[in-house]
Amino acid sequence: MLDAAVQALFIVLQPGHLAYLLVGVGVGLAVGVLPGLGGIVGMALLLPLTFTMDATAGLAMLIGVAAVITTSDTFVSVLIGVPGSAGSQATVVDGYAMAQKGEGARALSAAFLASMFGGIIGALALCLSLPVARGMVLSFASPELLMMSVMGLCMIGVLSGNAPLKGILAASLGLFLGTWGASNITAEYRYSFEMDYLFDGIPLVVLSLGLYAIPEFLDVLSRGGSIARKGLSVGSGWGEGARDVRRHWPLVVRHSLVGVGVGIVPGLGASIVDWLNYGLLVRTARDKSKFGSGDVRGVIAPESANNAKEGGALIPTLLFGVPGSAGMALLLSAMVVQGIQPGPRMLTDNLELIFALVWSLAIGNVVGTAVCFALSRPISRLALVPFSLLFPVVFTLIIVGAYQSTRHFGDLLALVACGILGWLMKRFGFPRAPLLIGFILSALVERNLWITLNRYGWDWLSRPGVLAIGVLTLLFLGYGLRAALRREKSA
């Protein structure tokens, strides 16, 4: 494994690969400053470009986006009090209060460094998980992989949002939409409605941009004006923020590890890891008097956790082929297009690629943090740009990104349809991540089900691994439904 790690580092440090990683970091930083868009939109815009690129370079570019979103979204969270993404909601509580007291630079410095160290710890956790999980993962066959996909879908559906049934319905709709087009097994056309455009199914890029970019873009546009309606003051305290992180180093490590653990569980999104860590911090702190009024610990804990989550989310994505988040689902799709099958075989056939992603995640975090420090004032002024000027740029990127899928006029019509679906789901409280992940897992579930039934018949249901995963699935379903009933009663 050490040889593979060293070889992967040399590959990532090649000028061409490093340039693509930096492109991903740049896109992630730009998208993160705009509230609501998030890493999924940034990854979806770059996804079509990866289809014709070298696999390592293309995946490194996507990892670059994911690595820095939770770093750059801190700008608007701290300086304006508007969450840059779902993963920076808790940062607003104390970060904005610090900015109001003229300590915006201190809060940003602490957030940047905590986020960087969290990302590095997440990459290290992914690296250390490989020898630990190797024996178990290599023993998995198609029945266990099928059950892992089913468990992932159930967990994503139940744990995404406050309405488990809505999450399960969204995941089921994603599975259904994933069956459209030619079957990978029988080659027959399903739900194509005699339209050439649907012979290959709905393009993933179009679906992801429609579900996420269009609804958020319309919400931002409807507010009008600019993100910030008055001048921004970063304030002072860059050095003090760095000293805060050094002083609270155990806090960074503890909450980064919690973030990794949450990231491993499919369905626990960025907002959950954010508030979970903030709540854990408040409950375990000796002095609780300053929380909510500008305590730097309230910035360090959630920022270290939400970036470490990405390393944790890569573990089920790479080792089991079950995406740990919606962003990892796009990464999974890029791997499949490149002919790389995520799952146990990656530990034997593509070990260097896994380590290349580990290095990309770590390097992307370091570079992103350095850029945030160096360009903090120009980036913060981006919030003053009126939406009327941002509209044509962002809208053009969305249109071009969708059209790159198949370069067919149907891409634009499908984008509108998926945008309406995304807006309706957001309007009526349906989580969108389960639909996207269900869509991507549809082909994997169908293939593993076909292989399992043809190879094992119905005897696969009695395999020990299948039974163990099935019990865990039922436990998660029971927990989620019980928690939902409790919330309804308390409401």
Q: What one-character-per-residue DSSP string does 30-70 give?
A: HHHHSTTTHHHHHHHHHHHHHTTS-HHHHHHHHHHHHHHHH
Domain boundaries, the chain: 2-490
The pLDDT tens digits of the residues spanning 252-267 come to 999 999 888 888 877 5
Q: How far is CA 128 from the centre of its chain?
A: 21
Query: Is the pLDDT confidence value at 383 over 80?
Result: no
Please say whether the dihedral angle defined by the alpha carbons of residues 46, 195, 444 and 175, taken in this order, is positive or negative. Answer: positive
Of the two residues 81 and 129, the one the predictor is more confident about is: 129
Beta strands in 135-235 (DSSP E): 181-182, 189-190
pLDDT (mean) for 350-360:
90
Gap between the Cα atoms of 113 and 280, Å rounded: 20
List Cα–Cα distances, 300 to 120, 253, 262, 285, 307, in angstroms: 15, 10, 17, 13, 11
pTM of the complete model beyond 0.85? no
Gap between the Cα atoms of 37 and 53, Å rounded: 25
pLDDT bracket for residue 251 (50, 70, 90): very high
Residue 387 confidence (pLDDT): 65
For residue 320, give both structure tokens.
Answer: 């089991």
- CB 302, CB 253: distance < 8 Å: no
Would you call 450 helix, strand, or coil by DSSP? helix
Write the DSSP symbol of residue 181.
E
Gap between the Cα atoms of 273 and 214, Å rounded: 25
Residue 139 confidence (pLDDT): 75
Of the two residues 136 and 307, the one the predictor is more confident about is: 307
Burial of 110 (0-12, 13-18, 19+ CB in 10 A): buried
For the chain, how are helix, strand and coil distributed in percent, rounded to 5? 75, 0, 20
Helices and strands counted in the chain (H then E)? 23, 2
Of the two residues 229 and 370, the one the predictor is more confident about is: 370
- CB 199, CB 181: distance < 8 Å: yes
